[in-house]
Structure 1
Amino acid sequence: MELLQINLADLFQIEKPLAELILRAVALYLGILLLLRIVPRRTGGELATMDLLFVLLISEAATHSLGGYSTVTEGFVVILTLLALNYVINSLSYYFPAIEKLVSYPPLLVVKDGKLLRRNMRREFLTEEELMEHLRREGIADIREVKSAHVEADGHISFISKNGDR
């Protein structure tokens, strides 16, 4: 019968100081955002850096609310803090271009007028074979057909052909 007895007060009681929970979430969010800004943009896969960070932290906070924290409420406090931070950072980056530059990568030119920009490719660890694979996926057979190619903030590569059909 003890298995069916649930003490709801203990389940939702906050045991750690509220300010500590919020400060931990803020520090973790900003710390991981800074670290992700250092790694090449193609590391994040198909998600933009902010999206990847947000999903990672929400899942981590949810995991802790199931067992790492003492109560479900503590997990909700951290998740709510992360939601608020994500909203504030996205809002600030919309209204203030300087914030956008801090949290997002600008497009990086890797092909200009049919010529590979190897220095920029090296910054993203993009090999010529990988670039050619992306070209083929876009139906472009020859690099000389490309006016420009950029590695975008989310890691995708966009192409503009010389004849303007892409």
Structure 2
Amino acid sequence: MDELLRFSLSPLELLVRGTAMYWFLLCIFRFVLRRDFGTAGVPDLLFVVLLGDAAQNGMIGEGHTLLDSAFLIAVLAAWNYALDFLAYHVPFVSRLTDPPALLLAKDGRLVHRNLRKEHITPDEVESALRSEGLDGLARVRRMYLEPDGKFTVLKRR
């Protein structure tokens, strides 16, 4: 029980590690990641997951130096930036990192193959239509599932 209630590192070292990693990560998020997390793609989400693991080693220690973790995070940030840059300039890379919008409804009818592909129920479609102020598919020209997970509805005139 004594081992559970003791510091394995000095509180001052934990304070310095935690503070340094907080400010380093804040700078990474501010200057590398996109401003709106609603537009985060798969590479951005992967970056955030890996970032958490890399930062944990820097804050807790476990035989890794703060510089090791900061360097690893910088490498991950560089890859994230490089993929965003390439996706903007090279259409092939964009298709790999960001899925295209998926057609869910066309001319008032559901595209069931695409609903099954994404495991979207007709109830979820109806809910999205209600949030757009529509009470059914009759006024829908096209409905898409966007790469960020949001629904877009194009109404009939």
Relative to the length of structure 2, the TM-score reads: 0.72
Distance 1:47 1:104 in 2: 9
* Amino acid across the alignment from 2:44: D
Alignment of 1:3-152 (within 5 A): 47-67=40-60, 68=62, 70-152=64-146
- Of residues 52-61 and 79-88 in structure 1, the stretch that sits farther from structure 2 once superposed is 52-61
Number of residue pairs aligned between Structure 1 and Structure 2: 124
In the TM superposition, residue 69 of structure 1 has moved relative to its aligned partner by: 5.1
- Contact 1:65–1:75 under 8 Å retained in 2: yes
Go from structure 1 to structure 2 and tell me whether the alpha carbon gap of 1:47 and 1:93 turns closer, same or farther (over 3 Å shift): closer
In the TM superposition, residue 52 of structure 1 has moved relative to its aligned partner by: 1.6
Unmatched 5+ residue regions in structure 2?
Answer: 1-9, 18-37
Match of 2:142, SS state, is strand
Match of 1:87, SS state, is helix
Relative to the length of structure 1, the TM-score reads: 0.68
Greater relative contact order, per chain length (Cα 8 Å cut-off, separation 6+): 1
* Amino acid across the alignment from 2:69: G
In the TM superposition, residue 150 of structure 1 has moved relative to its aligned partner by: 0.6
- Contact 1:145–1:162 under 8 Å retained in 2: yes
- Contact 1:61–1:75 under 8 Å retained in 2: yes
Percent identity, aligned pairs only, is 32
Match of 1:122, SS state, is helix
What's the RMSD between the two structures over aligned residues?
Answer: 2.1
